Amino acid sequence: MLGIHIRTKLVVATLLMVLLGVMFVPGALAKPQLEWLPHNVSIEVEPGRETTLVVTVSSSKEIDNGQLSVSPELADYIVIEPTVLNLRKHQTQDVTLTISGNEAMPGDVLEGFLEVQSAKKAKPRDTEDHWNEDYDRWESNHYKRRKEDDRDDRASKKSDKNSLLAISISILEPTVTLGDVRVSYELPENWKRSPFDLADGTFSDAVYSPESWERIQGGSLATAPDIVLSIIPNPANQSIIEFQNSDGWYGSYDSTTFMMVDGRASLILDDRSDGLPSNPTVIALIDDGYQIISVGFGWQSADSYDEFLDSLVIENVGESQ
């Protein structure tokens, strides 16, 4: 009889713990409703560039140690600050999003969301030896149910438009701008772009093939860009012939030919036939009045220079405004 009595107490205790556990799982409580301003984000960014945006969030209930995160589709493109959210009821909090297009290709549209997940609460423990075995069995099953509830909870959040900030990122063609001149180009598939602005007022883009980019990521300091596009100030409004003759470097190339690039007179300086070719091996000098657009091609990319030049779109921003 004593054994039956003890087993009955254990069963009752276990059932009580299960009931309490079901009552206090996170999904059983009302969730706070979040309001984001703006209500959604639609932004454009170029490969190799980043932009910063501040959004504001408020909550219908207090949030303690909420975890801010973006959906997996956007994880490589957005950095969040802060990542932990503590809010009183109806208090507002600014959240800074740093958005980059480094790993994307022009034409990509990346869509996902920003959410706040509740911090996990500590799991209860009972130390009485006489029912540890039954409790451990309940605990194992209960934790499985809680994980399932958490997954269901996250799924329900995705359908709750008031709690999620929808984000759409459009990846643009890369551009280089100086003064009134803006140059955009088609980035070859899987190539990477790294913009830089020099102290002498030259604005440039370095473009790397997949092989060169892999060496750069591996720590190589000797890997040169495959293509460099620069806008060079030309305050004297020199012609491209005068510009070429003003720098002895340009005169060292084996051949010079004329061509039109996006409606502008251009010189192609080509050193591919030289036993010790210059670097860049091919240079295009494009006349745009008070700016000269220079596009240099390394040995590996020199044979396809005409394809890249065909993709250039040169605009006078001042005239379009």
Assign 258 a pLDDT band (cuts: 50, 70, 90): very high
Residue 5 has pLDDT above 80, yes or no: no
pLDDT of 26 higher than 60: no
**How far apart are alpha carbons 250 and 287 in whole angstroms?**
15
In this predicted structure, what is the pLDDT of residue 28?
42
Q: How does pLDDT run across 132-187, given as a tens digit for each residue?
A: 554 455 456 555 556 555 555 554 444 345 588 999 999 998 988 888 899 999 98
DSSP 25-73: SGGGSPPPPEEEESSEEEEEE-TT-EEEEEEEEEESS-EEEEEEEE-GG
Q: Does residue 318 have a pLDDT over 90?
A: no
Do residues 246 and 238 lie in contact, with contact meaning Cβ atoms separated by under 8 Å?
A: yes
pTM of the model: 0.66
- Cβ–Cβ under 8 Å, residues 174 and 187: yes
Pick among 3.40.50.720, 2.60.120.10, 2.60.40.10, 3.40.50.300: CATH of 32-171: 2.60.40.10
Of 162, 176, 166, 164, nearest to 204 by C-alpha is 176
Question: What are the sequence ranges of the domains in the chain?
Answer: 32-171, 175-320
- Residue 318: is it exposed, middle or buried by C-beta count within 10 angstroms (0-12/13-18/19+)? exposed
Pairwise CA distance, residues 178 & 238, whole Å: 17
Lowest mean pLDDT among 68-82, 190-204, 305-319: 190-204
Cis peptide before 38 (omega within 30 of 0): yes
Q: From residue 163, give the alpha-carbon distance in Å to each of 31, 57, 110, 152, 159.
A: 9, 10, 20, 15, 9
The residue among 179, 175, 161 whose CA lies nearest residue 233 is 179
Give the C-alpha separation, 169 to 77, whole Å.
Answer: 9
Alpha-helical runs (H) found in 160-252? 210-217, 240-245
Rounded (10°) CA dihedral 173, 176, 181, 186: -30
Amino acid (one-letter) located at 315: E
pLDDT-derived band at 34 (thresholds 50, 70, 90) equals confident
pLDDT at 78 over 60: yes
- Residues contacting 314, CB < 8 A, separation 6+: 181, 182, 183, 261, 262, 263, 264, 286, 288, 293
Is 2.40.50 the CATH number for 175-320?
no
Q: What pLDDT does residue 196 have?
A: 75
Name the pLDDT band for 275 (thresholds 50, 70, 90). Answer: confident
C-alpha span between 72 and 91 (Å, rounded): 28
The winner for highest mean pLDDT among 98-102, 241-245, 262-266, 271-275 is 262-266
Asked whether residue 263 carries a pLDDT value surpassing 70, the answer given is yes
- Report the C-alpha gap between 210 and 208 in whole angstroms: 6
